[in-house]
Amino acid sequence: MSNALGQEIMTSYSNADLAEINLDRLSPGVYVLSILVDGSTTETHKILKK
């Protein structure tokens, strides 16, 4: 996960079909979550934390 400046702030690995990420420690702002699916496809999601 990266912040709005492009700085990597969190890295997590999971082989499960479902994973949870705790965002409690993050300050309010915009974040970008990149997910590598099946080792070949990257999904990118914008997260807005209030």
pLDDT tens digits, 10-49:
998 888 888 899 999 999 999 999 999 888 899 999 999 9
Q: In the prediction, which pLDDT does 1 show?
A: 96
The 10 Å CB-count burial string (b at 16+, else e) for 3-39 is eeeeeeeeeeeeeeeeeeeeeeeeeeeebeeeeeeee
Where along the chain do its domains lie?
Answer: 2-15+26-49
Q: Provide the H-helix boundaries in 1-50.
A: none
Q: Nearest-5° angle of CA 43, CA 32, CA 36?
A: 30
